[in-house]
Amino acid sequence: MLAATPTDDRLGSMVVFFLIALAIIGPYGYVRIRRVLRERLPSAGAVETATPDPEHARAADPSDLSLVIAAIDAAPGLLRQPGAPASITIDVPGEPTLDGRPVAAAVATALLIDAIRSNRGDGWQIVAEDAPSPGSDLELRLRRI
């Protein structure tokens, strides 16, 4: 008869420890691999939402305040281009809305001021010539800070 050697006992305990480690680490590895694959491979739902159907595309509301804020955010890049004008004038709607709902004049003014102040970077700051208010023209220019 063959007797069990110390090597057989070590091999058996190593297999048991490997199975225990696999049971503990396995779920984490499975979740992590799925997350990495999801980030690298866009899902079909994300592609569909990224390219809306032209029939369902909503026309831009000219009184939407988010369009004015987007124009303020884009102004530094436009003003830094070679041959750009010294200032940009943006029309602020008289009765601003957000998501189709009317916005109070004080709230609209606060949002516009916040958008102007948040455009600081690379040693430049956007400066408004006039205080932003609904129904007025907003003139923006760059100033080195």
pLDDT at 16: 93
Pair (75, 36) in one structural domain: no
Collect all residues with Cβ–Cβ distance below 8 Å to 100 and sequence separation of at least 6: 61
Pair (70, 137) in one structural domain: yes
Give the count of domains, the chain. 2
The domain in which residue 22 lies consists of 7-50
Per residue of the chain (145 residues), give pLDDT as tens: 455 566 678 888 999 999 999 999 998 888 888 888 887 776 544 444 445 444 444 556 778 888 888 888 888 888 888 888 888 888 888 888 888 888 888 888 888 888 888 877 667 777 777 778 788 888 888 776 6
Pair (35, 81) in one structural domain: no
Residue 88 is assigned to a structural domain of this protein: yes
Token couple for 87 = 């200032």
Pair (71, 99) in one structural domain: yes
Pair (102, 75) in one structural domain: yes
Q: Give dist(CA 129, CA 85) in Å, integer.
A: 15
Pair (116, 76) in one structural domain: yes
DSSP type of residue 64: B
Pair (71, 139) in one structural domain: yes
Residue 43 is assigned to a structural domain of this protein: yes
Q: Which amino acid is at 54?
A: P
Collect all residues with Cβ–Cβ distance below 8 Å to 86 and sequence separation of at least 6: 141
pLDDT at 48: 46
